[in-house]
A and B are shown apart, each in its own frame.
Chain A
């Protein structure tokens, strides 16, 4: 089942190549040690840790409130998701069952906007990796509008520190609903434009369809999650399967890869699932923006976070997959151990399995379709 590179079989033709850590296609500081036989890849070893910032060690010396900005910095492309996932975990640890309706609505709205923003980067950068430069500028232009929305709400553009355990830092600005609706009206037709420009582009399909096929059993055995798992045809989404927050109130579908352009679970499927997910996020956003109630967003924020002894494991569906947080509390105001199971960490570990046997240029496609963020992998 597991392939260890047998040193004795390296003949004269095999060459070890180094990609990264400063390679534009590796999405950050990732180093790939690629053993190649001519143009064909025989083994890849991802070497990570260049962006390790001791997140878990820091958490043991910080109070629960102070950890929120640190979680933002883990996945810097979906900072809202990290803070939301962490807040849910701490609320679970404290035994807070119910939050004000308005808090949950604002959290869901911002999380879905964040999902669109993160998928826009993923879609655009994947195009950029395989040589399509224009779609990248288009997606970044539209992401900019979401970032502007976030700036009007939180004051910052990338790392928000807005969702706190038990509530939010402050309420929405007065004209937010109007601005958000304007954006959605503008954005919905844009997805068709991306499809015309990139999704159905012949060159793009040649570069991504039938490449890096991930079978379902491999994906599950490697702990792959999120759009990467759904690209292989598994309709698993925590928002649907085990609704947290108030996702059970909204009507949306879970798109899966169907192999429209090639095999189920190829790079194109993983890409297209993200495009479809943006449409689903728009659906959720429209329902949530129409029915957002009034209320006090700070009502349920605990005065002091000092959970009882015990431990919890909490799951959250981020833009990249299943974020798991294992928190051990020793009865103090600081966690005695906090482990983050980052989705991209598990998604990256499958790289060797699905790209061995392909060309070096296909490795770029596979890596782009996995949509990794190194800040979250290295923590």
Chain B
């Protein structure tokens, strides 16, 4: 199993979850991500951000794939929304846009990203809409957001 090599190396720092994904602390991510890249996981498939809906915590799920040994690896980090997470965009360039998307839609703050800004939403957008506590604003750029939606709903 691809997960075991991480558990063996970082016994206290990682936790094996039910579906064989590995929970990592945000402060150890810099060290562990470098190790993962050097082992064999050269292909980053996806970074998913999610809202845990308790204690203002959010999470990230990294899905890795190894083109050499055809193995999968899923890493999770769960942290307070204000925590800065180490950016892996310099290691896997695929992470560049995925991290920008996680910041844009979920408000994850990455440390060391080369070009952090919004990617899908306009630059003047307020807030991060995939947070569960996100509320539709009253005004956007001075224009009232229509409340009567009977025309299209």
Contacts and interface: CB of A to CB of B under 8 A. Distances in A.
Nearest to B70: A241
A350 B93 CA distance: 9
Chain A interface residue count: which class?
35 or more
Contact of B44 (A223, A236, A313): A223
Interface stretch (A67-75, A100-108, A173-181, A334-342): A334-342
A327 B97 CA distance: 20
Contact of A220 (B42, B105, B114, B130): B42
Interface string B50-70: 110100000001010001001
A2 B94 contact: no
B120 A313 contact: no
Contacts of A315: 45
B126 interface: no
A220 B98 CA distance: 15
B29 interface: no
Contacts, number: 89
> Per DSSP, are chain A's interface residues mostly helix, strand or loop, or mixed?
mixed
Interface in B38-53: 42-46, 48-51, 53
B120 A49 contact: yes
Given A57-B130, A349-B93, 11 more contacts: A52-B120, A223-B94, A234-B67, A313-B72, A315-B45, A337-B50, A337-B130, A346-B94, A346-B97, A353-B93, A379-B120
23 contacts: A2-B90, A2-B93, A48-B119, A49-B119, A49-B122, A56-B130, A57-B129, A221-B42, A222-B94, A234-B67, A310-B18, A312-B19, A313-B45, A313-B63, A324-B46, A336-B53, A337-B48, A339-B46, A339-B49, A346-B94, A349-B93, A349-B96, A350-B93
Interface of A: 1-2, 4, 48-49, 52, 54, 56-57, 60, 220-223, 234, 236, 241-242, 310-313, 315, 322, 324, 326, 328, 336-337, 339, 341, 345-346, 349-350, 353, 378-379
